[in-house]
Amino acid sequence: LSSIKLQVIGVRLTGTLSGWTAPKDVILKVAGILTVKGGTGAIVEYFGPGVDSISCTGMGTICNMGAEIGATTSIFPFNSRMVDYLRATNREEIATLAGGYRHILTADEGAEYDEVIEVNLSELEPHVNGPFTPDLAHPISHLGKNAAEKDWPVEVKVGLIGSCTNSSYEDMSRSASIAKQALSKGLRFQSTFTVTPGSEQIRATIERDGQASVFRDSGALVLANACGPCIGQWDRQDVKKGEKNTIVSSYNRNFTGRNDANPATHAFVASPEMTTALALAGRLDFNPMTDELIGANGEKFKLDSPYGDELPSKGFDPGEDTYQPPADSKVQVDIDPNSKRLQVLDPFETWDGKDLENMAVLIKVKGKCTTDHISAAGPWLKYRGHLDNISNNLLIGATNIENGELNKVKNKLTGQYGPVPDTARNYKEQGIAWVVVGDENYGEGSSREHAALEPRHLGGRAIIVKSFARIHETNLKKQGMLPLTFANAADYDKIQPDDEVSLLGVISLAPGSQVTCRLKHSDGTCEEFPLDHSMNEGQIEWFKAGSALNRMRQLIASE
């Protein structure tokens, strides 16, 4: 286990959440302050008198999006809102048990934090963040002006609510209350609108209690209980690939091309309530707190603040029981060797005990490189059980610093430019190991393991960056890759795309040690600089064994 000292960032909440402001707006505000990497190496702890005005599921939304600021984890103090939720979900025993330990599930009086952020909920405006990144924060009163200045499309083509982040009963009820107001005036959604229940329980409950019907009557499409468009499970037909357009969702991430595989889509994230309002207006420059809509009779009207129960008065409907018990552990799994979607994983090769020398630079990445850039979702998801096929999306969304283009790198063997995965495969076939060079917060986003599996499968040995997103760095370690950071961030500029890279000191790798990067430039000159790593002894054994799974296999065999 890795044990490092984490900072604790305190977010002190005062005032009361009310009106159009939702729990989502708290994390959207904090993301604007801390940015997508400000919480890296830290726990974010919410405290203060304002906490009690946030529902348990609202706290869940805020903590869910802690990943968007790089936080190791996010926490709230135990309170009565959590007790209510536990009881409503048939966990009375847990509520009672936790209540007995309330004194250690809340911060000590006078607790100190490494940093404190103040948020007054009574003054907090609804926020809409984006496009292309969840930390570009806009209070709703500024969004229209900012969109005009930046030439973002103001027509909202699609509004999407739900997903794991924002599909609680409260979210659905408050959003439905807005749609119902508009419907009473004869107004339906002006944008395409989708609703993704986050669970079978939520789907069944909003079907029973009428919210789903309100959405449908207003022109919405209620989707299956799944990740859906959030991770690109969306065969979008209303715009052509490359067509500039705007969508707004209540999801957690809005990276380039993530939802619909269209890099020209300007994706914004907001609360379900604000997403619903913007989809009713069909415009990004609509502020429901000040602006009016026009009903079917031509009369103007203003939306009232959203309202809705935190928990269903009739209790949750569990819906259809979809549980399937696991097969016996001794079951034989037969996979068609010609399958395009399933493939047996072969163990990665073990380290040969030598330094890693004379490697190619597959790509030097410029700027943001999320797990979506490294391993795209959408149409690629059907190959997630076939490592070799899904590896054909490796880094196709990353920007090559050499030419500013996507998925176009120079093959040092042929001198020709081609797709990143094809170039990686050619190097692997010729026995040439390679590295990726990256910028800040490399691997930001989800815990997508394919983003670490693919470079390893196609012959990569190390990822050298200014800084990593925590989860991706750990995933790389598990697959036997070397995640290395520049001791001096300025050394990023020294690496040229046609350099030959050697990593020296790997043979003496130890916790806290450095690795020397030796560059051989195309003109024959060489230079060296140090690289850092964060591996502990156990993780170094993963590297030596070829992967964490290989190491587990070794340990089991030795018992």
Residues 305 and 31: their CA atoms lie apart, in Å, by 24
Amino acid, single-letter form, for residue 10: G
pLDDT at site 3: 61
Nearest to 244 by CA among 284, 289, 215, 280: 284
Say which residues have a Cβ less than 8 Å from residue 10's Cβ, sequence separation at least 6: 45, 46, 47, 111, 113, 115, 116, 117
Q: Provide the percentage of residues in the chain whose pLDDT is more than 70.
A: 99
Nearest to 42 by CA among 11, 21, 19: 11
Residue-wise pLDDT for 400-450, tens only, equals 999 999 999 999 999 999 999 999 999 999 999 999 999 999 999 878 899
Average pLDDT of the residues in 6-17: 97
Residue-wise pLDDT for 112-130, tens only, equals 999 999 999 999 999 999 9
pLDDT band of residue 522 (cuts 50, 70, 90) is: very high
- Look over the chain and give the mean of its residue pLDDT values, rounded to a whole number: 96
Q: Are 429 and 237 in contact (CB under 8 A)?
A: no
pLDDT band of residue 224 (cuts 50, 70, 90) is: very high
The reply to whether the predicted model has a pTM over 0.85 is yes
Domains and CATH numbers, the chain: 7-120 (3.40.1060.10), 127-301 (3.30.499.10), 356-558 (3.20.19.10)
What is the sign, positive or negative, of the torsion defined by CA atoms of 220, 226, 228, 231? positive
Least confident range of 17-26, 90-99, 232-241, 484-493 = 232-241
Amino acid, single-letter form, for residue 326: P
DSSP 8-60: EEEEEEES---TT--HHHHHHHHHHHHTTTTTBTEEEEEESGGGGGS-HHHHH
Residues 209 and 288: their CA atoms lie apart, in Å, by 26
Q: List, in sequence order, the alpha helices (H) in 282-401.
A: 371-374, 387-390
pLDDT at site 2: 58
Question: 3-class DSSP state for residue 301?
Answer: strand
H or E, element range at 162: strand 156-162
